[in-house]
């Protein structure tokens, strides 16, 4: 065991190798895919000679600990690329051979991030391998010195994963694991993981009947069920109301457009791999749109513009389509069709600061309404030394734009960090970061300045000097995508939505059949008052109906028995509180209206 201090990423990478070494001993003939470091741990993709189940993980862990006890070294070797290909061919490791062959024939462009942990793209003609006992793996490292330097770990789950994320390839077995330096860290994370699993938006989405994925419709194409559709509509109403207060104008645009539109915008050249194949319509090629901005640009350009028209704020809940490999699809967070609360602000360079400051206010209001309080920003700037990514002849525009973003942030006393070199090639941006109820960090949305598209589409406006000028476009979507934001909310609230967002605000529960009419009458009364109430008239016990309402996380349960038949007094049960409260219908309605008004 070494006295060296290793980074947690190095420890996790070495633990992935340890897993593979144990699998090789237990299941001879296994073919190995990739085994990268991920957040809090690692995984390894395996082509096993026989299926394994979660019950086998303890056996694999036991063998991993035996290898640790042997104190085997991690030994690095380098060899020419051709020699490495022959080496892994002899070992019958077809997936390693494929990675190396791709590197040789196609260069580094086809190597994915998780594959780069195996291959050094800095030395494309040299392959490095690591030996741990009898196990040999293609890997660029670094690693710990011996197996005893590996920290504490736990194998957590098994899933299927298509090789290289494509459903055209064989499905491998992916084994996930956690790795930390201390047992205390691992134990704390396991508690967090257990809570995260309870909040998983895919699990809650099914239980609360929010959305579904139909295999007949297609993977990555969610269908909103009535409950989920209601929440989505409330989200859209809130944002649209706030935007219209700030002078946004809503538009509608089609989901397809001619291929040439995306060739002009550059999307076809830069993002073809994530766009769907063209559709032939009467000899012309059309594409499902990957972005809304080219459509909004056409609206700007449909007539001559003056400085008096600016800023022009065009908004749309625009649905876009992007090809995601099946292995990368995940609930609502990685889908193939999604809707953005998109808007594009066409303004003069002098208006950037004021518009961004207004956007900061708008975004703050949106997040506050959804109960998201811990928000900070990241200001992404260009690296002036990187003359390949950032065109040098637009220095003045960059300096003005970056200064405007910084001044807008400072004027609002915003909490932000700067990230030099992380700006897009077409302009600086502000990313909004937030933490959910479990402390997990997310990038929610972005304010992006764009100098490129106005140039590509030759956009102009006539200034007060009578001359033609080029506008700047500000791209922004406070919710990001509706789907991803809804997934965030489901997990943030653990499905227990605040009253204003809850699909059903009150479940009316009759004690017996004799109380059905009173329950139905109460439901009707509450609905007239704008309360979303549903009477449960099933032939079940009161206890069962209460548990059913609790499972659906309904905020209020109203029990109607003999005492309540007159509806002069209600017996109210609040979500998460066992004690019952007595109140009149009017006081109950008043209470809910106050909660809804403050978005409680």
Residues forming the active site: 293, 322, 340, 342, 344, 429, 475
Q: How many contiguous H segments (helices) and E segments (strands) does the chain have?
A: 18, 28
User: Is 143 labelled as part of a ligand binding site?
Assistant: no
- What residues does 556 pair with on adjacent strands? 506, 574
Residue whose token pair is 């506050």: 368
- The length of the chain is 600
How crowded is the C-beta side of 381, counted as CA atoms within 13 Å?
19
Read off the tokens for 485: 């934001």
CA distances from 23 to 30, 43, 47, 65, 134 (A): 8, 13, 11, 12, 12
CA quadruple 415, 497, 444, 446: dihedral sign: negative
Asked whether the beta carbons of 298 and 188 are under 8 A apart, the reply is no
Q: What is the largest CA-CA distance in the chain?
A: 88
What DSSP designation does 322 have? -
* CA separation for the pair 543, 547 (Å, rounded): 6
Question: How many Cα neighbours within 13 Å face the side chain of 112?
Answer: 14
Q: 20, 47, 26, 32: which is closest to 155 by C-alpha?
A: 20
Distance CA 400, CA 406 (A): 10
Residues 6+ apart with CB under 8 A from 223: 211, 212, 213, 214, 217
C-alpha dihedral (499, 505, 510, 516), degrees to nearest 10: 160
Q: Which residues of 188-203 are buried (b: 16+ CB within 10 A; e: fewer)?
A: ebeeeeeeeeebbbbe
Contact indicator for 46, 33 with CB cutoff of 8 Å: yes
Instruction: Classify residue 370 by burial, with Cβ atoms within 10 Å: 0-12, 13-18, 19+.
Output: buried
Q: Is 201 flagged in the annotation as binding? A: no
Q: How many CA atoms lie within 13 A of 399 on its CB side?
A: 6
Q: Kindly report the three-state secondary structure assignment for every residue of 282-299.
A: CCEEEEECCCCHHHHHHH
Give yes or no for a contact between 341 and 415, defined as CB atoms under 8 angstroms apart.
Answer: no
Q: Which residues pair with 159 in a beta bridge?
A: 174
Question: Which H helix or E strand runs over 78?
Answer: strand 74-80
Q: Which tokens in the block code for residue 218?
A: 């297609």
Where is the binding site for Zn(2+), in residues?
293, 344, 475
Where is the binding site, in residues?
293, 344, 475
């Amino acid at each position: 065991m070494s006295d060296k201090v290793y980074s947690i990423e190095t420890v996790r990478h070495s633990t992935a190798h340890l897993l593979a070494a144990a699998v090789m001993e237990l299941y001879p003939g296994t073919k190995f895919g990739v085994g990268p470091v991920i957040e809090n741990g690692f995984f390894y993709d395996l082509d096993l000679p026989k299926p394994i189940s979660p019950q086998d993980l303890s056996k694999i862990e036991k063998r991993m600990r035996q290898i640790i006890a042997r104190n085997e070294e991690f030994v690095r070797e380098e060899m020419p690329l051709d020699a490495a290909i022959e080496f892994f061919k002899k070992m019958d490791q077809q997936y390693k051979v494929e990675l190396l062959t791709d590197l040789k024939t196609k260069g580094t462009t086809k190597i994915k991030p998780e594959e780069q942990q195996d291959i050094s793209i800095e030395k494309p003609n040299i392959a490095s391998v690591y030996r741990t006992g009898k196990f040999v793996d293609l890997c660029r490292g670094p690693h710990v010195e011996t197996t005893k330097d590996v920290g504490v770990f736990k194998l957590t789950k098994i899933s299927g994963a298509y090789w290289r994320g494509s459903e055209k390839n064989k499905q491998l077995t992916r084994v996930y694991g956690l790795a930390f330096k201390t047992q205390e860290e691992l134990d704390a994370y396991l508690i967090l993981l257990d809570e995260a699993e309870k909040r998983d938006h895919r699990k809650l989405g099914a239980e609360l009947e929010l959305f579904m994925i139909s295999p007949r419709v297609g993977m990555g194409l969610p269908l909103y069920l009535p409950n989920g559709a209601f929440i989505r509509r409330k989200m859209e109403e809130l944002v649209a109301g706030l935007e219209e207060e700030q002078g946004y104008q809503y538009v509608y645009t089609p989901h397809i457009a001619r291929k040439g539109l995306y060739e002009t915008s550059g999307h076809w050249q830069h993002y073809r791999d994530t766009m769907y194949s063209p559709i032939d319509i009467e000899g012309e090629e059309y594409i499902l749109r990957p972005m809304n901005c080219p459509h909004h640009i056409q609206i700007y350009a449909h007539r001559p513009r003056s400085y008096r028209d600016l800023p022009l704020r065009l908004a749309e809940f625009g649905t876009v389509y992007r090809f995601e490999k099946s292995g990368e699809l995940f609930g609502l967070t990685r889908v193939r069709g999604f809707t953005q609360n998109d808007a594009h602000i066409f303004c003069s360079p002098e208006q950037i600061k004021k518009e961004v400051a207004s956007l900061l206010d708008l975004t703050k209001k949106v997040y506050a309404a959804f109960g998201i309080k811990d928000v900070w920003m990241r200001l992404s700037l260009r690296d002036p030394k990187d003359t390949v990514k950032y065109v040098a002849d637009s220095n003045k525009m960059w300096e003005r734009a970056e200064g405007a973003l910084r001044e807008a942030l400072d004027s609002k006393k915003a909490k932000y960090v700067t990230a030099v070199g992380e700006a897009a090639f077409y302009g600086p941006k502000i990313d909004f970061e937030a933490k959910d109820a479990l402390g997990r960090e997310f990038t929610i949305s972005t304010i992006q300045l764009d100098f490129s598209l106005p140039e590509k589409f030759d956009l102009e406006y006539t200034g007060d000097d009578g001359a033609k000028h080029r506008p700047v476009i500000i791209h922004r979507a406070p919710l990001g995508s509706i789907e991803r934001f809804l997934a965030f909310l489901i997990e943030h609230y653990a499905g227990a939505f605040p009253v204003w967002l809850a699909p059903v605000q009150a479940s009316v529960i009759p004690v017996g059949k004799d109380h059905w009419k009173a329950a139905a009458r109460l439901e009707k009364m509450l609905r007239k008052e704008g309360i979303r109430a549903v009477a449960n008239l099933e032939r079940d016990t009161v206890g069962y109906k209460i548990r059913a309402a609790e499972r659906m996380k309904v905020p209020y349960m109203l029990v109607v028995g003999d005492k309540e038949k007159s509806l002069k007094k209600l017996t109210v049960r609040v979500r998460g509180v066992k004690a019952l409260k007595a109140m009149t219908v009017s006081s109950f309605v008043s209470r809910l209206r106050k909660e809804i008004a403050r978005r409680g």
